[in-house]
């Protein structure tokens, strides 16, 4: 007579519920027109600090209208963070209009000044030609020359500037300053945004900031 096993069959492991994919963290460029008056920058920075938003870059400058300034802000986060930033900015009294450059082509530029040592380990200034060659390859330009260093100016997207700085590291960076990102939509950005909005049945959202 065959023996019956007294060990119970192992219970099937409970299946874990499927978790939705987390939304990717992205870099967002936001532009705002603000009234040109004292304290506006402090209000915007205070809003970001109070809400816990991290500002990657913030640049403000005059427009062709002396009564308005253009503020360009770069934040890193998901879509929810982007929407919260837009809503909170729009609530500030000095803010005239807020636009996120999302799903539209735009041009961005950052300006960098960097001083680089031209000396080698022995103290002789013989690396000048190498640095100038690298500068020309990146379409940068030398703006100041000293016996032991060069000051270089370069403008472009953040990725270009970071690549240039990385290649200059072995020569010895002495000082570096950056302006931060400024951005404007390309000429066809607004029509593209409007056609996409109409196709999806949403309200038309003009992507361009009005002239200052």
- Concatenating the DSSP letter of every residue in 164-177 gives HHHHHGGG-EEEEE
Whether 26-103 and 107-182 share one fold: the answer is yes
CB 33 within 8 A of CB 210: yes
DSSP for residue 58 = E
Q: In CATH, which of 3.40.47.10, 1.25.40.10, 3.30.565.10, 3.30.70.260 is domain 26-103?
A: 3.30.70.260
DSSP for residue 129 = H
Please list the pLDDT of the chain residue by residue as tens digits (212 residues): 444 444 444 444 444 444 456 667 888 899 999 998 888 888 888 888 888 888 888 999 988 888 999 999 998 888 888 888 888 888 888 899 998 888 788 999 999 999 999 987 665 657 899 999 999 999 999 999 998 999 999 999 999 999 999 999 999 999 999 999 999 888 865 554 554 444 434 343 444 454 44
User: Which class in CATH covers the domain with range 107-182?
Assistant: alpha beta
Per DSSP, the three-state class of 45 is helix
Q: What is the pLDDT of residue 174?
A: 96
pLDDT digits (tens, 9 = 90+) for 49-82: 888 888 888 999 988 888 999 999 998 888 888 8
Q: How many CB atoms lie within 10 A of CB 150?
A: 22
pTM of the model: 0.69
Cβ neighbourhood burial of 151 (10 Å; 0-12, 13-18, 19+): middle
Q: Could you tell me the residue ranges of all domains in the chain?
A: 26-103, 107-182
Q: What is the pLDDT of residue 46?
A: 87
DSSP for residue 125 = B
């Amino acid at each position: 007579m065959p023996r019956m096993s007294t060990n119970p069959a192992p219970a099937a492991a409970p299946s874990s519920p499927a978790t939705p994919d987390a939304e990717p963290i992205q870099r967002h460029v936001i532009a705002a027109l603000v009234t040109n008056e004292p304290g506006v920058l402090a209000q915007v920075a205070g809003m970001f600090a109070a809400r816990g938003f991290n500002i990657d870059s913030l640049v403000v400058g005059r427009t062709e209208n002396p009564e308005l300034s253009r503020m360009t802000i770069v934040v890193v986060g998901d879509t929810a963070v982007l929407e919260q930033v837009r809503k909170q900015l729009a609530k500030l009294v000095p803010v005239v209009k807020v636009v996120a450059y999302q799903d539209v082509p735009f041009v961005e530029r950052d300006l960098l000044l960097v001083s680089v040592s031209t000396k080698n380990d022995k103290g002789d200034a013989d690396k000048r030609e190498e640095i100038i060659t690298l500068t020309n390859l990146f379409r940068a330009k030398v703006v100041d020359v000293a016996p032991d260093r060069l000051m270089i100016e370069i403008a472009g997207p953040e990725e270009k500037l970071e690549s240039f700085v990385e290649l200059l590291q072995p020569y010895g960076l002495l000082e570096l300053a950056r302006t931060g990102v400024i951005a404007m939509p390309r000429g066809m950005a607004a029509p593209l945004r409007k056609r996409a909005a109409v196709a999806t049945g949403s309200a038309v959202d003009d992507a361009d900031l009005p002239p200052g």
